[in-house]
Amino acid sequence: MVEDKDIQKLKGFREFLPGEMRARRKVFDALRKVARKYGFREITTPSLEPMDLFLVKSGEELVEQTYSFEDKGGRDVTMIPEETPTRARMVKENKDLTKPIKWFSESKFWRYESTQKGRLREFYQFNYDIFGEESVEADAEILAVAAEILKELDLDDSADIRLNDRKMLEGILSTYGIENFKEVLQVIDDKEKMTDKEFLDKLVESGLKKEDAEIVDEITSLKGSFDEVIPELEDLVPDSEESQEAFRRLVDLRDRLESYGIIDNFVIDLSIIRGLAYYTGMVFEIFDTEGDLRALCGGGRYDDLIETLGGEETPAVGFAPGDAVLELLMKREGVWPDEKVETDVYVLNVSESVRRESLDIAERLRNKGLNVETDLSGRNFGNQMDYANKINASKLIIVGERDLEKEKVTVKDMDSGDEEKVSLSDIERFFQG
């Protein structure tokens, strides 16, 4: 028996009341609208997966943060901390899908992180990925979707898309003889959260000589618009085929982003590396321009993951915005939707004797797609009026015996207070006009 005590919800988990949910639904609908515009099709994935799926390539940090346990059948399972490995498994298993495969989803994820502003233990992401296409066009389309999301949410002046290429950075570092990429990249990934001194110390701890740590610091400080950074990269990128190819893609990408008219949203930033282990090329994150929030969004190209899981060679590129930081930024910028419930119509029955007519009117309007409430509790006129105000009804239909004798009702506009008589036979037309 559980003792009767004050049981609180868990830290890092949220619940949403109807007003909050209405605001969130507007934001989520905008993210859905962008997906549809670019031809991404919706999928749904399991919440629980075999733990091994995340051991393959998500990276140690993420795996340590999972909610993992042994289920009753003795299997090691994990509450999904991200969707990319699941999607890779789905692509591997469904060989006949028409390519390019373009998927989006709205899902919940779980990570046992230390909770802080914008970092929770349960959160939502919208994932957008393109599978089966290695061209720079696919990278550009993914980035266009990211830019369109910022525009759709009125955030294009408050956030930057910060872009890099892992292969190019590795190439540059290798010309300085820096080869222990895994450890070094991990430190670079945390650069944003550290002071300069901490960054240098961590690089030395990861095995670099002090001079090399300083070189890494200098290289990863390179940032600016495509046109500012590309000439500098020309001198830095080594001649190896792989590095040159990565650099050429970046130059091509610049042209495509210009064609999309979104080049101003981008900053090349050589410190963007991404914590997840599966990225193989272009990587990006979206940050607020004031720099006081965590990343809103992260993604990149991951051409090996499906093969690593035992599937056919399938290039892939994608990203995911998370709801928590989006909400913080939208609130800060004053563009978060109103957290108020909405109702189109409240049908007020003046007396019990007209309940049947009131229900009939409510049903007729519901059948026309309006959102309609009517009395459930036998409340008097004043209390029904209070309720209609509390649910922010736009219009009130007052159903009274005297009006009904003339086949009419009174319709009140709740904003202006104006009232008018409307014939019963005209009600649908009145509300649709």
Nearer to ligand HAM, 129 or 170 (CB): 129
Pair type for strands 122-131 and 101-110: antiparallel
The two three-digit tokens of residue 49, written as one number? 């997966």
Q: How far is the CB of 173 from ligand HAM (least distance, A)?
A: 22
Stretch that binds ligand HAM, among 27-35, 116-124, 201-209, 406-414 (CB under 6 A): 116-124
Judge contact between 410 and 395, C-beta under 8 A: no
Residues 378-397 that bind ligand HAM (CB under 6 A): none
Task: Indicate the SS3 state at residue 354.
Answer: helix
Q: Should residue 129 be labelled a site residue for ligand HAM when binding is judged by CB under 6 A?
A: yes
Is the previous residue joined to 85 through a cis bond, with omega within 30 degrees of 0? no
CA distance 65 to 52: 14
In the complex with ligand HAM, the residue whose CB is nearer, 238 or 275, is: 275
- State the binding string over 217-246 for ligand HAM (x if CB under 6 A, else -): ------------------------------
Residue nearest to ligand HAM (CB): 322
Could you tell me the smallest distance in angstroms from the CB atom of residue 425 to ligand HAM? 53
Whether 153 and 334 have beta carbons less than 8 Å apart is answered as no
Can residue 281 be called a binding residue for ligand HAM (CB under 6 A)? no
185, 187, 191, 196: CA torsion to nearest 10: -130
Cβ within 8 Å of residue 91, ≥6 positions away: 97, 101, 131, 132, 306, 311, 314, 316
- 368: three-class secondary structure by DSSP: coil
313-332 footprint of ligand HAM as x/- string (CB under 6 A): -----xxx-x-xx-------
Min dist. Cβ of residue 101 to ligand HAM (A) = 13
Smallest distance, Å, CB 241 to ligand HAM? 26
Contact status: 82 vs ligand HAM (CB under 6 A): yes
- Report the alpha-carbon angle 116-122-124, nearest 5: 105
CA dihedral over 122, 124, 130, 135, signed as positive or negative: negative
Interface stretch with ligand HAM, choices 118-126, 221-229, 307-315, 405-413 (CB under 6 A): 118-126
Site of interaction with ligand HAM (CB under 6 A) = 82-84, 111, 113, 118-120, 123, 125, 127, 129, 276, 295-299, 318-320, 322, 324-325
